[in-house]
Amino acid sequence: MMDDQPILFGDCLDRIPDARRELGPLDLIYADPPFAAGGRRSARLESGERSQGTAAYDDHWGGIDGFLDMMRPRLELMFESLSERGSLWIHLDHRAVHEVKVLCDRTFGRSRFEGEVIWSPGNGGRRKRGPSVTHQTILIYSRSKDFYYAAEESGLREPYAATSQHMHFRLVDADGRRFRERIVGGKAYRYYADQGRKLGSVWSDLPSMRANTPLLQETTGYPTQKPLGLLDRIVRLATPPDGTVLDPMCGSGTTVVAALLAGRRAMGIDRSEVAVATARRRLTPAAVELDVRPA
């Protein structure tokens, strides 16, 4: 298969250096590896295609140790490829997140762990015993203390809770905006209700259904596709307007689409021919223009 920018075909262990030569040091690497769930994942690429679809990738590694052996050299290469302001956001679920956290601590250093996002896709629970797992975890690691995070950027905030708005935001300024004031250390701080608060670590407002229903243009039929709104938020939080973005296991290409729509330079890599074909279809100039902008 021939390469066609901005999606590269191949193992990211081999292709990350090619992406870095094109983009320079990377401000954001968003990695959504297999979840060590076992089995094979299939894509439904055509309407009416049988439920088993077309095989997209395998997710069996001979146990968690085999999965970690696969991830270790790739994480080391990701660390080396980040800019000084760059960060890795690695998306996992309960099956491997704890072991990968330890591996990332060793690769980046524990002091470079910047936190985690708990993403709730909005799926129903299935377990008969114990709490059903209805969330996934995105670990965030920085390359250096100059880690970029646009916490104050407009549009990257969330509304104050209704109870808080009712109890605390009772003052109104000359423009009719409701606010509250707090005195901290003898200094007054003003908070406006319509400005919202900084995003917390639990995101439940970006349902996976947007990426997994044939009723919406965003859906490609590729397994494990994430919603465009999720990647748009990560890209804008983790990169400045001139930033560079890489998804080394890009699947359907959502990260690259989100980055291009946000004006960043971006590339994706995948060793699945199905993934690369799907992502390239989404990334033709006409397709990017038509892609659904995140709600």
Residue-range domain boundaries for the chain: 7-158+199-285, 160-195
Q: What is the pTM of this model?
A: 0.86
Task: Output the furthest CA–CA distance in the chain (Å, rounded).
Answer: 67
Q: Which of 14, 8, 31 is nearest to 267 (CA)?
A: 8
Q: 7-158+199-285 — its CATH code? A: 3.40.50.150
pLDDT in tens, the chain (295 residues): 334 469 999 999 999 999 999 999 999 999 999 876 666 665 666 544 444 567 766 666 788 999 999 999 999 999 999 999 999 999 999 989 999 999 999 999 999 999 999 999 887 667 777 788 889 999 999 999 999 999 777 678 888 889 999 999 999 999 999 999 999 999 999 999 998 888 899 999 998 877 666 656 788 888 888 999 999 999 999 999 999 999 999 999 999 999 999 999 999 999 999 999 999 988 876 556 555 555 5
The two beta strands, 178-184 and 187-192, are: antiparallel
221 phi/psi in degrees, rounded to 5: 90, 0
The dihedral over CA atoms of 216, 222, 223, 226, expressed in degrees to the nearest 10, equals -50
**Cβ(253)–Cβ(61) below 8 Å:** no
